[in-house]
Amino acid sequence: MRNKKLLFIILLIAFPFKSLALIEVDITRGNLSPLPLAVSSLASNKKDKENLEKKLEIKDLGLEISLIVENNLKKSGLFNPLNKDAFLQKPDIAHLKPRFEDWALIKAQALITGKVNFIDDKLRVEFRLWDVLAGKEMLALAFTTVPKNWRRVGHIISDKVYERLTGEKGYFDTRVIYVAEEGPKTQRVKKLAIMDQDGFNTKYLTLGNELVLTPRFNPTNQMVTYLSYFKNLPRVYLLDIETGIQEVVGDFPGMTFAPRFSPDGKKIIMSFAMDGNSDIYTMNLENRIVERITNHPSIDTSPSYSPDGKYIAFNSDRSGYQQIYVMKSNGKNVKRISFGKGLYGTPVWSPRGDLIAFTKLHKGKFYIGVMRTDGKGERLLTENFYQEAPSWSPNGRVLIFYRETKTNSKGEGFSAKLWSIDLTGYNERLVETETDASDPSWSSLLSN
């Protein structure tokens, strides 16, 4: 299903052994001196260039793809793409055999070159990653796809380069689903929206007729679960973003909310509120069997599975105030793990399994932070007037969340925006969206 969109053939031109790894980027610490690298424009012959321009209305596709790669790598905070004006060697010649002295002269430690062809209505892109100082090729790959997937080719190249240089999977060929917001604070109109992780290809999935909140991706396919106030009945819905088909999940006699998928994508875990009490339930999407997981007179909400599916982190005020708890996936062995000062909410288990991201409210400030799964080693990454709802990049290195501004004395100046920050606490960035935005959820890698 996933591969249907992007049918590509990967040709291994050369694949050097990992043991020869020369340049390495350490991503476990805040990187204050990002690796300088050169992303050469991808070369193409005159005829292919003209045909591609006719097809896509893009003048120099090779250049555009190289800019996607540059932008991705730059925003990761780990790399410093050098200005193309300083490049001495032409793209086509560099791709055949770089003159490493020229690239060393401008202080590039790595070089990316490539070639774009248009053959039988298919886009063929190849690229190479070079270690400039060692004068060696580190990676070479080629992809064939339909031309309209050209941006994804840029993202896949970015992922391959990131993986080769850091030793960990990338997160560029991904999408973010979020809630697009417009209108005055007292009457916000909210729509589901989806975009590529770099902010391109935004699509709106609902019209804004009813309030929608908290969309989350299925980690295994293109399904999304979210809360909709359709007909003024707040219920958890399931949406297939390929077909646009949506359905209500479960016929509960009250509000269902705070949905998330299990790691295998087969269950939805959510809260069900009735008579003033919210508890956590799961629904098996194959046989629609509903299971009650918590049974406590307090508020139990914001459940999130561990990546192995064995545990659930959730938010409860059973101690009197909002705190984070962990239990086995059958609801047994409930343990509170947050013991710092303040209130804790929105626990989200890292895809690597070792950390839980959260929102903390303390002395009128909101923090995004991480703690180990036993609650120890709390680290606050960012402080602001209002921010919440962290969501992990699929490699567990970056968090995306939303932030709201304080209004002035007349109640004006409200905005909601998406932000991202590295697990290290460095590299905080505004994620640009067409409208105001909240409740981001990061997809898995679309290709591997």
Partner 1 sequence: MNLGKINKNIFLVLFLSFVLSACATQTAKKVDSQMQGDVYTGTDTVEYLADGVPDRVFFATNESVLTTASRETLRKQASWLRKNSEITVVLEGHADERGTREYNLALGERRANAAKDYLMTYGISSSRISVISYGKERPVDSGSNPLAWSKNRRSVTVKAN
DSSP per-residue letters across 144-196: EE-GGGHHHHHHHHHHHHHHHHHSS----S-EEEEEEEES-GGG-EEEEEEEE
Rounded Cα distance, 118 and 106, in Å = 32
3-state secondary structure of 187: helix
Q: How far apart are the first and last CA of the chain?
A: 14
Minimum Å gap between C-beta 214 and partner 1 is 7
Rounded Cα distance, 418 and 176, in Å = 10
Tell whether residue 362 is a contact of partner 1 (CB under 8 A). no
From candidates 71, 222, 301, 435, binder to partner 1 by CB under 8 A: 301
Tell whether residue 321 is a contact of partner 1 (CB under 8 A). yes
From candidates 70, 422, 436, 439, binder to partner 1 by CB under 8 A: 439
- Judged by CB under 8 A, the chain residues 155 through 214 that form the site for partner 1 are 184-188, 211, 213-214
The stretch near partner 1 (CB under 8 A) out of 6-14, 90-98, 217-225, 358-366 is 358-366
Tell whether residue 302 is a contact of partner 1 (CB under 8 A). yes
Rounded Cα distance, 92 and 235, in Å = 56
The stretch near partner 1 (CB under 8 A) out of 96-104, 159-167, 410-418, 419-427 is 410-418
Tell whether residue 437 is a contact of partner 1 (CB under 8 A). no
When the beta carbons of 116 and 324 are compared against partner 1, the nearer one is 324
Angle at 289 (CA atoms; ends 285, 294), nearest 5 degrees: 105
From candidates 29, 231, 341, 406, binder to partner 1 by CB under 8 A: 406
CA distances from 369 to 31, 350, 356, 357 (A): 19, 12, 8, 6
Tell whether residue 416 is a contact of partner 1 (CB under 8 A). no
Minimum Å gap between C-beta 294 and partner 1 is 12
3-state secondary structure of 164: helix
Given the rule CB under 8 A, which residues bind partner 1?
184-188, 211, 213-214, 227, 232, 234, 254-255, 257-258, 271, 273, 275-278, 299, 301-302, 315, 317, 321-322, 343, 345-346, 359, 361, 364, 385-386, 388-389, 404, 406-407, 409, 411-412, 414, 439
